Chains A and B, each alone.
Chain A
Amino acid sequence: MKKLCNVILIAGLLFTLHFAHYTLHKTFAQETLSSSELIARAWAAHGKKDIETTFKYTQECIELYKDRADKEQSSLKALPKAKDEIEAVQSLNDVATAYFIQAESQMRQQKLEEAKRIFKIIIDNYYYAQAWDMRGWYWQVAEVSKQSIKKIESGSIELEQKKKVSQLATKITLYDPGKEDFIDYEKYGEFKDIGTKDYKYIIKDQEGLSVAAGEGVYPNTSSVRLDPEFKKAQGENRLEGNQWDFLHSPDLEAAFLKWATASEPQGVKLYYTGLILENAGLIKQAIKCYYAAVVHFPGSYGWTYFKTPWYVGQAAISRINFLLRRNPQLGYRLVDADIHIINGYDFHVANDIVVTNPGKFVKVDLLEKLKAKPSPESLNIEKRLGKGKVHLVKYEGAGWQLIVDGKPYVIKGVTYAPTKVGQSPDEGTLGNWMEEDFNNNGKADGPYDAFVDKNKNGAQDADEPGVGDFQLMKDIGVNTIRLYHHPQKVKKEVLRDMYSNYGIRVIMGDFLGKYTIGSGAPWSPGTDYNNAEHKKNMMESVTNMILEFKDEPYILFWVLGNENVYGYACNADKDPVAFFKFANEVAKHIKSLDPEHPVAIASGDIVYLDVFGKYAPDIDIFGANAYRGNSGFGFLWRQVKREADRPAFITEFGCSAYFEGKSLDTGEEYQADYHRGSWEDIESNMAFKEGSGNAIGGVVFEWVDEWWKGYEPTIHDKKGTWIGPFPDGTMHEEWLGLTAQGDGRLSPFLRELRRAYYTYKNLWG
């Protein structure tokens, strides 16, 4: 997820200022602006409620690019999927967005009929247009236009989503669970060239392997067809529909049967069949599915919502490890399993080379746990990064630790952005939580006056005193918050108090040209990491940050960028070498100014991790925003170790507490489970643990729900914004908080503590 929203107090301000500044300088130039540039300016004007300028830029965009947009629309037969395909019809995307902004502006002026007329233009003429939202996803302009019309006509923004597949709640009863729980593959075939790109498993006894594997597990494709439930489900028309719509159906039996017979690539099919079995509690059969994907189809891949490759074999190994960790009664562990995808960090799969070791299942030796484990005292320090009060050490054979004031420090972080309900950067109303004092008691509202609505009655009762978020965070062990871009309006005393009285430090960041912030570049084509002027501006921005904050006691370390590798108003996706080389220059510069604190990068998952490893040796810590599901972060840790040998942390991770079709209570349970799995994975990869030994913590996204992310800042919007590995398969951006804001009336004070809050109290407290 790419969240400009996380800029916290500076998001709206800085972004608006940036464009205002840019507009000022360009006013006298009469050059033809790109459609994207016009849209960027139009959004900025719309945010400032400058109607005249909004219409000036949108109309210019329409007049200049409409013909091209019409041609692009007529050239399409389907909604573009890949990023380059979406960008190839940029005129279409921008002209539709220009109409959209006009309609939004008309709506804001209560010219509702005119707004509807314009929304209909989009729906009728530009239905394949997509726009990039800086919150981190593409949205279909026509679909959102439909929602807006719905809102005009009914006051509600929730579009009815008719369920496309069976919703009958069922359990899975396997007709043929197979003869072996943990298959001895040596019996049925031959492993060849293990640990090389030529790895393969040659089946010698397909019938025997099918009998051992059972229903739904490759190569057994017969049993599912003989399953009486299959005929029954067919007869009841419960298998009608697309297999993808079954993934989160309560009809688990139908979902299993559908996926086990689906025409999908075998690896993908096995993974999702396994996932459905897992959801049904059939853990052993699920493990068999996952492992079949590893053994037979280790290089299988899919695509994430963000158009990056998703490697099924790696995910399957992670899922197996997760299940074995969660189910110790099974008594097995998977050893040596590894799938390394050479060239697997870019956006392409055609150049991939897959090196596979399927590993093997071994019975857990109970005596292992009794063996003495190494400790920092018993091991030599192999490497040290930095010499200041915050630095990093690598213990020989045990991994990395962050050392703060002489002691190991695990980052138990959270993103803190207690946005008052009703505020939105879209409307230029985002406030500054360090300053806001709506109750006029001389103290910042969220940090000091937030109260826990224990009985969830939407009121502050006598036994619900204001305790403040800082205290609530301290209570569960939070020791760090992340600020995405150094604030221009900061109350250092608030941060100092947060540190001195609550023990919470700050990871301070600079966007390093992402969304053009700090680079002075125009929105389109955006920051160019080969451009001397852009680099000079960014270096200056970082220098300002260092000089302003380096002596502040709460600084933990510096973080550069935020998912720059995905591109969007910067060219780090197209020229990652230039980006990481420049980031490395910046890191060296920081250290020349401040030897006391390390430097980290906030990347987008593991995209271009190999380039980072090669060109950024002076960046001490690899950080990444990663949303990979409830089992943690998969191969991320071992990949960082392999490509860069650096300590790593997760700069953003989280899960919404809303689960479509289930109760809010159930949604909270799933959210808590997701967090527990994520943290267990982080912890198991810390130094002296069984994993890769390079995890130093993570930053939860986020502390409290923000209601502006789904576009309507006064409504707690439930709509899904992007598809991902979440409990119901969708990200619900406004439900990510460990705490909620109730019905919003007592925002920014009211807090409802979700289950995930208590999960962290157990894990961190």
Chain B
Amino acid sequence: MKKLIVVAAVMFCFTAAGLAEEKAGEAPAPKEFVVYKDKGAKENHYVPSGWMGDYGDLKSNDQAVDNPHSGTTCMQFTYTAKKSQGQGWGGIYWQNPANNWGSKKGGFDLTGMTKLTFWARGAKGGEKIQKFVVGGIEGTYPDSAKVEMGPLELNDTWKQYTLNLVDKDLSYINGGFGWTITADLNPEGCVFYLDDIKFEADTAMKAEGRKQEGMPFYIYADRGSIANHFIPSGWMGDYGDLKYDGNWKSDPYLGDTCIKISYSGQVTQGARWAGIFWQNPANNWGTQDAGFDLSKAAKLTFWARGEKGGERIEEFKVGGIMGEYSDSDTASISPVILNKEWTQYSIDLKGKDMSYIIGGFAWSTNVDVNPEGAVFYLDEIKFE
């Protein structure tokens, strides 16, 4: 063991084993663990091999010399938003070893690290990154933690960002770093740069309490708005009867777009009802610990109108997802008969426990009250 430590000290580089051994040995714990410093830097770990979603829309240059944050190179990423694979999103994971989606043992033991920092800038400014992430790769050998931040909007100058890892189980991290981007957020595509990505053992770092979100807290402002939260991923009942268009440009209530929802009432799955839950993250039915603290919200408001007027929505709802991680409360209005003109509706949240919300918004209706189906529009959905 001592020999190994000596070798590690001499080589001044870490391996997963080395990191673990040092923790157990007498040598001081490492202060940092680099993901990317410069092209070819000996300190670099992980490989940006995990291309996801519309991988055809992505280009990567790991030796961009265009104004690196430090050293001689930075990483440049280009996203075309052409939806080459029809996904509407793309992203890259830094993995160890390359292309390891949890099928083989790899990763690093990063115990002792308290944060991941990186520098980022956009080519023009205003580029919107859906998420930056540490960990979260599943499979036979899953990562021991997953920490995310985003969405966030880049400046045209370098800025440092930090993911708080205090109290996270970092004993096995295969997906050292990653980001995702969507066509919704960047319809014209974008170019952005990353540099100096590293884990740090910063003892001054404090555990991140679940912060109370400020108000207003949008679910939908406009297509691609950075302010949007929650994903309309929870399609329920006769999901085959539903069409969702979050980019409807005709007669939005405010801004450039609104949401158009078409419910055919064809009873495709035999349920006779249908609905959509806006979740965080997508498809979270209480299986992931990812609720927002919306304690400051006194109400949820939204604007709605029916294509013809008279469409009946059985329920508009906040919260109510029950699972391993359940929403802390629920509130609803029902039924709502829509007008042809935009009308604002409000769900009163006073007295409700909004401290943990996975299901930000939902609606449901059925074929019994809409025998011919229903087409309706939503806009400006937000907590206030």
Contact = CB atoms under 8 A, between A and B. Distances in A.
Given A222-B353, A265-B314, A349 B368 contact: yes
A78 B335 contact: no
A266 B315 contact: yes
27 contacts: A77-B268, A77-B269, A77-B270, A78-B269, A79-B270, A80-B270, A81-B270, A206-B350, A206-B351, A219-B331, A219-B348, A221-B329, A221-B331, A221-B352, A225-B326, A225-B328, A225-B353, A239-B322, A261-B322, A261-B330, A265-B314, A266-B315, A303-B368, A348-B368, A348-B371, A350-B370, A350-B371
Interface string B350-370: 111100000000000000111
Contacts of B353: 222, 225-226
A85 B350 contact: no
Interface in A408-428: none
A370 interface: no
B103 interface: no
Interface of A: 76-82, 85, 203, 206-207, 210-211, 219-222, 225-226, 239, 261, 263, 265-266, 297, 299, 303, 348-350
Nearest to B348: A206
B271 A210 contact: no
B334 interface: yes
Nearest to A261: B322
B168 interface: no
A646 B267 CA distance: 40
Contacts of B326: 225, 261
B320 A222 contact: no
B228 interface: no
B257 to A, nearest CB: 29
B296 interface: no
Most-contacted residue by chain B among A261, A263, A349 (CB, 10 A)? A263
B272 interface: yes
B332 interface: yes
A225 B329 CA distance: 7
Given A85-B267, A222-B353, A350-B371, 13 more contacts: A78-B269, A80-B270, A206-B348, A206-B351, A206-B352, A225-B328, A239-B322, A261-B320, A261-B322, A297-B334, A299-B335, A349-B368, A349-B369
B272 A82 contact: yes
Given A225-B328, A350-B368, A350-B371, A266 B348 contact: no
Contacts of B335: 299
Contacts of A239: 322
A265 B314 CA distance: 8
Interface in B217-275: 267-272
A174 B166 CA distance: 39
A38 B330 CA distance: 54
A221 B330 contact: yes
B350 A207 contact: yes
Nearest to B314: A265
A350 B315 contact: no
A-B complex: 8 closest residue pairs judged by Cβ atoms: A78-B270, A207-B351, A206-B350, A210-B351, A222-B353, A206-B351, A349-B368, A221-B330
Interface of B: 267-272, 312, 314-315, 320, 322, 326, 328-332, 334-335, 348, 350-353, 368-371
A713 B220 CA distance: 63
Nearest to B362: A263
A266 B333 CA distance: 9
B153 to A, nearest CB: 35
Contacts of B351: 206-207, 210-211, 219-220, 222
A350 B365 CA distance: 12
A389 to B, nearest CB: 48
Contacts of A265: 314-315, 334
A117 to B, nearest CB: 29
A136 B324 CA distance: 43
Contacts of B315: 265-266
Nearest to B272: A81
Nearest to A85: B267
A220 B348 CA distance: 12
**Majority secondary structure, A binding face:** loop
A78 B350 CA distance: 41
A210 B350 CA distance: 10
Most-contacted residue by chain B among A77, A82, A203, A303 (CB, 10 A)? A77
B270 A266 contact: no
Contacts of B322: 239, 261, 263
Contacts of B331: 219, 221
Contacts of B371: 348, 350
Contacts of A210: 351
A617 B229 CA distance: 62
Contacts of A80: 270
Contacts of B312: 350
A339 B350 CA distance: 29
A79 B370 CA distance: 21
A78 B329 contact: no
A348 B328 CA distance: 36
A130 B351 CA distance: 48
B264 to A, nearest CB: 15
Given A80-B270, A348-B368, A222 B348 contact: no
B320 A263 contact: yes
Contacts of A203: 348
A202 to B, nearest CB: 10
A149 to B, nearest CB: 26
Nearest to A226: B353
Contacts of A221: 329-331, 352
Given A225-B328, A349-B369, A350-B371, A76 B350 contact: no
A95 to B, nearest CB: 20
Most-contacted residue by chain B among A76, A210, A225, A226 (CB, 10 A)? A225
A303 B371 CA distance: 16
Nearest to A303: B368
A79 B335 CA distance: 27
Contacts of A261: 320, 322, 326, 330
Contacts of A81: 270, 272
A765 B350 CA distance: 57
A350 B369 contact: yes
Contacts of B348: 203, 206, 219
B310 to A, nearest CB: 10
A644 B354 CA distance: 51
Nearest to A234: B326
A78 B314 contact: no
A220 B331 CA distance: 9
B372 to A, nearest CB: 9
Contacts of B320: 261, 263
A79 B330 CA distance: 31
Contacts of A266: 315, 332, 334
Nearest to B236: A263
Contacts of B271: 78
Most-contacted residue by chain B among A78, A80, A85, A239 (CB, 10 A)? A78
Nearest to A264: B315
Contacts of B350: 206-207
Contacts of A76: 270
A222 B352 contact: yes
Contacts of A348: 368, 371
B328 to A, nearest CB: 6
Contacts of B314: 265
A222 B329 contact: yes
Nearest to A267: B334
Contacts of A297: 334
Most-contacted residue by chain B among A221, A222, A303, A349 (CB, 10 A)? A221
Nearest to A224: B329
Contacts of B334: 265-266, 297
Contacts of B328: 225
B365 to A, nearest CB: 11
Contacts of A222: 329, 351-353
B278 to A, nearest CB: 15
B325 to A, nearest CB: 11
Nearest to B277: A263
